Amino acid sequence: MMRILPRSRGYRLPLMTAGFALLGLGLLFLLRAIFGDAFYAAYTPFCRALLRVISHITGILPFSLAEGIILCAVTALPILLLVLIFRAVFSLGERPRQKLCRFLLILLAAACVLAFLFYLFWGMSYGAPPLAEQLGLEVRKWSEEELFRTAELMLADLNLAADQVSRNDDGTLRLESFPATAAHAVSAVSAYTGHSVARPKPVGMSTAMSYAGITGIFIPHTAEANVNTRNRTASLCFTAAHELMHREAVAPEDETNFAAFHALYEKGDAEARYSALFTGWMYIGNKLSSADYRTLYAQLHPGVRADLRAYSELWDAYAGTVVEEVASSANNAYLTLQGEPDGIRSYGRMVDLLIAFYLSRI
């Protein structure tokens, strides 16, 4: 009788690797459950320091290392798997089936190790104490009046910032190259965090990301803040800052959105501040009633209205595809798995933090 898992090092090593990775992963969650906030008093500084070191190493490369690895993996692994399956099915003897089984075990071990490193490097940050608590902001249920008042205050800031940036003939923001735009975010986040941060990486597959509705993605394993460069709108600098703040061990999307806003608003130059306010306004606007939005929209700087139209035109061109639906569902499932019950709607909870921030300044 053929053994399914023969006793050999070729099988034992990947099984042991997977087992130790899962054991390490379980230990992380156990320590968090036992020590709570005390766990994060050690984990968050460790996470930030580790990601800072890795990001400066991978930052030597002008391209995204993570993107290159992913492209190689999704291209080579399916081909290799098909070859091994074909040989296992149509070849005589036990050896081809052993190779297939060993390959599958190696894939399992790799997946377990990647999961462990994900949570060790960054993923546990999803359970960290709330950002509002760290910043001394009161988040509660807001009234419609408080929402409208916040929108008015932001509109005044936004109109002032809109006068301080360069514009094209059609009124839209005159964007620089991606490296120059990213530099605004890097400068603001560096000043905000008190240490030098590695630059964001442009994604070569930005068109594919656009069809998936993805503006950026942070990869903890390489500590790279990857940005979709097809997003040639006023929100590009904010997106770069968002991914950089993920690298600062801020994981929940609403908190990362606000952290990016806060960094650009407090420490950014004119372009960075405008990008923060422009993006923040879109989130606030989505929460307003139709009547309130129309009232405030009429008061917006003409350049802001031009940038809003440009933003809509860009993303409308990519909307409604099967790729977008699949990516949205996958992102929603991922966020739910990380303890974000609102899934992709959690991005919009940034508004709670914006209201708390603006009302605390009155």
Q: Note the pLDDT of residue 346.
A: 56
Give mean pLDDT, residues 10-38.
93
Least confident of 70-84, 136-150, 335-349: 335-349
Percent of the chain whose predicted confidence (pLDDT) is above 70? 94
Give backbone dihedrals phi and psi of 172, rounded to 5 degrees, phi first. -75, 160
Percent of the chain whose predicted confidence (pLDDT) is above 90? 79
Give mean pLDDT, residues 59-75.
95
pLDDT tens across 193-202, in order?
999 999 999 9
Domain limits of the chain?
9-121, 131-360
Give mean pLDDT, residues 168-175.
95
pLDDT tens across 250-287, in order?
999 999 999 999 999 999 999 999 999 999 999 999 99
Contact 308, 162 (CB under 8 A): no
pLDDT of 332 higher than 50: yes
pLDDT of 337 higher than 80: no
What is the pTM for the complete model shown? 0.92
Give mean pLDDT, residues 318-323.
80
| Residues 178/180/184/185 CA torsion (nearest 10 deg) | 30
Q: Which residues have C-beta within 8 Å of that of residue 150, sequence separation ≥ 6? A: 284, 354, 355, 358, 359
- Residue 344 pLDDT level (bands cut at 50, 70, 90): low
